[in-house]
């Protein structure tokens, strides 16, 4: 009987875990924050709101907002970081980072972006 209760609790616990593809330890979060500062803040700003003059010109999404966070999957964000972003007019608006950042660093940045939501 005890075994049945334990396994039922385990199933419930696993089901309660949200489907987040990438996650961060404290050390990884610090490293990702440093990488964000080095490579991304110029456009996306420190808080991820993209509220600078350049950010507004680029029409950046505001990552502090839930709607912006919901508008892309982790996979789409990873692809954007690795391959860069081209706008609807065919202009490259964000450079690819596949050669500057490792796969893990890019994944950690995706997880970091998720922490910017207020």
Residues that bind ligand HEC (CB under 6 A): 39-40, 42-44, 58, 60-61, 71-72, 76-77, 80-81, 85, 93-94, 97, 109, 113
Nearest distance in Å: CB 90, ligand HEC: 13
Please say which residue, 8 or 86, places its beta carbon nearer to ligand HEC: 86
Nearest distance in Å: CB 37, ligand HEC: 10
Please say which residue, 24 or 40, places its beta carbon nearer to ligand HEC: 40
The burial class, CB within 10 Å (0-12 / 13-18 / 19+), for 39 is middle
Q: Do residues 22 and 108 make contact, with C-beta atoms less than 8 angstroms apart? A: yes
- Determine phi and psi for 103, rounding to 5 degrees: -55, -45
């Amino acid at each position: 009987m005890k075994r049945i209760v334990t396994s039922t609790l385990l199933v419930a616990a696993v089901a309660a875990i949200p489907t987040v593809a990438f996650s961060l330890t404290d050390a990884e979060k610090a490293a990702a924050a440093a990488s964000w500062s080095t490579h991304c803040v110029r456009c996306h700003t420190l808080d991820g709101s993209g509220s600078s003059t350049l950010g507004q010109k680029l029409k950046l999404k505001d990552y502090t907002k839930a709607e912006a966070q919901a508008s892309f999957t982790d996979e789409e964000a990873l692809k954007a970081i690795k391959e860069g972003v081209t706008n609807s007019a065919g202009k490259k608006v964000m450079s690819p980072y596949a050669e500057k950042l490792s796969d893990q660093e890019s994944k950690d940045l995706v997880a970091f972006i998720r922490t910017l939501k207020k």
